[in-house]
Structure 1
């Protein structure tokens, strides 16, 4: 086969990048949903509301649908090495053990029974990142280092915050991280500003700074809204359920469920829409994962795994600050307050532009991939 000529590579790269830029995934973004719906708008259910029917279930019971609850616990790390297709509706020892570990992580009474308090916690919208990674719990209920019953390695933990097993972080000496948005989402400057504010909250207390760039493939952190199964093995589930997930350093992927009712601005607590989710609150949480923090068992922390709809939680707690400074040190200008600083935007490469933007780096990358695959 003849090698492609340079001009053919450039044309191919352009066509491929153009086609990718026009694969649009529209997210449900509302400027202020309280002004969109009447006060008597009906309450919509969440992805896991059916679990409320399990109130009072305990070991030895056999209840229709418990297999789905086992799949939930497996997804978040509480039941290891068991394909969901093999789950039964029996309340067995594995489920009881998972419930006890879950109750401990969330500061509930450790009974192994599906009581009201446990189920109220389980059905809340949450981050898609597991609480137990590779057998190691990334939550600490303030009782010293803990591991799940099936765990081998231990995680590092101080107070309530935690880091991922192996303590992944951005390389020592990193001062700035760039971030970019999936061109197919076509986000407005207003939406991008929400993420800039979220990054600024972490920059206030650490030695890191963050800068938006238009080069999606070249950015350290890549942000996008996706629906359902989007190719990373962690499918989204529609309204509520898992809201978003992000990968530990230095992966840089940050994905949000496009099917959520995201509130960009306005008072989310006054929304008439029961499924309204505050975008900045979720962004602040997921950025913590991008930087290397695991989940915290402290409910006031932004790194707590769950957040109710129509709730705003964007101010870093002392637990969050202690954790991130353990990884990266303190911002020398940090004075103990958490008033957000002005976000930095990249004006040199069109970082403030709306919609798709593809850099020379992108074209060269596609050209290289095409050439090497022939």
Structure 2
């Protein structure tokens, strides 16, 4: 017992040093804008990080193309090519064909193994970098039988929610999680309020409550904006591309790319899809799902769907999200399971779709960054 007692302080010190190094490599003052019209034209790029993939349209097994090495890295980092794969040549081989087919299957595209226009249009979308396939197993199409029934739903539905390998979750009996923001980011109350609303989306369908605390290193959930390589092996890549990443329980780390054009008010009505703007709450709701233990979903309407278009707001939990989180933790006793949209009290809905009195609406992190363009 004496030996165990004597080792506590050094272990805490080492952990503190590791965490300090990890979280303070490159904190940034992120780009926040009250609305989309306030984004300076100079901050809107002419092209996105993966736009060059469009040049690969029509490629298939047996052809050669100069752009294929970068695409192979894309597929490897999102799990579609095994980590042992090393043939980053211009050859479209059978392994790349298999990766393309798996990607098409996960995203409900026509499974051809060829880089057709619909597939490439989807690949270039901004997304969460959490891998879709882990250790060779897809975590998007979870293998559940059709007509899965949830006691909290009035309908039978196909479930495509997923969990991290081994289903990590917060310990049984946990009902409150604290969260904090990296002090160096110096976030305004308006920005912090966006995260508060995002947390409320999940607390309305579970027994969790989320409480902000000033102690960043003691918080269960640690939220930080970084630029580029920030010490966790997942460097950010600038405007668009990967937007954020979060770690499974109990790690609690939630990182966002400070170089994005983050919009606070979520009003994208009339905005061109080509404008490089990202709704902060949409990304926050998605990544909180990862913090709680959810993986990606193949249901495009779900919050846990991996991609989101620019200038798009998507904050309402879909039935697939609710079924997944309640399988892990059970339901909020006040949630009636009626399929209603749960909009936090006092919030203005700006999803861009007409609200029909609380009907359900529709739903980014391994990063490629320097590996593609460094």
What is the rounded CA distance, in whole Å, between the counterparts of 1:59 and 1:265 in structure 2?
A: 45
* Structure 2 counterpart of 1:64, from 66, 70, 93: 66
What is the rounded CA distance, in whole Å, between the counterparts of 2:142 and 2:62 in structure 1?
A: 28
What is the rounded CA distance, in whole Å, between the counterparts of 1:36 and 1:101 in structure 2?
A: 37
Residue equivalent to 1:240: 240
Q: What TM-score results when the alignment is normalised by the length of structure 1? A: 0.79
Note if 1:339 corresponds to 2:337.
Answer: no
Note if 1:170 corresponds to 2:166.
Answer: no
The CA deviation string for residues 26-84 of structure 1, in whole angstroms up to 9 with x for no partner, is 1111111224458xx97731110000000000000000020000000001000012366
Do the aligned residues in 2 keep the contact of 1:247 with 1:290 (CA within 8 Å)?
A: yes
Cα separation, partners in 2 of 1:274 and 1:328, compared to 1, 3 Å: same
The Cα shift of 1:140 comes to 1.2
Residue equivalent to 1:320: 321
Do the aligned residues in 2 keep the contact of 1:200 with 1:342 (CA within 8 Å)?
A: no
Moved more, 333-342 or 275-284: 333-342
* Structure 2 counterpart of 1:77, from 57, 66, 79: 79
Do the aligned residues in 2 keep the contact of 1:269 with 1:311 (CA within 8 Å)?
A: no
The Cα shift of 1:270 comes to 3.5
Q: SS at the partner of 2:327?
A: helix
Do the aligned residues in 2 keep the contact of 1:169 with 1:248 (CA within 8 Å)?
A: yes
The Cα shift of 1:135 comes to 2.0
* Structure 2 counterpart of 1:46, from 34, 45, 48: 48
Cα separation, partners in 2 of 1:24 and 1:226, compared to 1, 3 Å: closer
The CA deviation string for residues 183-231 of structure 1, in whole angstroms up to 9 with x for no partner, is 1100001000000000000000001111110110000000000111111
RMSD: 2.8
The Cα shift of 1:341 comes to 3.6
Do the aligned residues in 1 keep the contact of 2:178 with 2:212 (CA within 8 Å)?
A: yes
The Cα shift of 1:264 comes to 0.9
Residue equivalent to 1:32: 35
For structure 2, the 5+ residue unaligned runs are 1-15, 147-157, 347-374
Q: What TM-score results when the alignment is normalised by the length of structure 2? A: 0.79
The Cα shift of 1:320 comes to 0.4
Do the aligned residues in 1 keep the contact of 2:97 with 2:113 (CA within 8 Å)?
A: yes
Residue equivalent to 1:160: 160
What is the rounded CA distance, in whole Å, between the counterparts of 1:236 and 1:266 in structure 2?
A: 23
Bigger radius of gyration = 1
Q: SS at the partner of 1:245?
A: strand
The Cα shift of 1:142 comes to 7.1
For structure 1, the 5+ residue unaligned runs are 1-12, 146-157, 344-374
Do the aligned residues in 2 keep the contact of 1:44 with 1:275 (CA within 8 Å)?
A: no
Residue equivalent to 1:358: none
The Cα shift of 1:138 comes to 1.0
1:87-236 mapped onto 2 (5 Å cutoff): 87-140=88-141, 144=145, 159-236=159-236
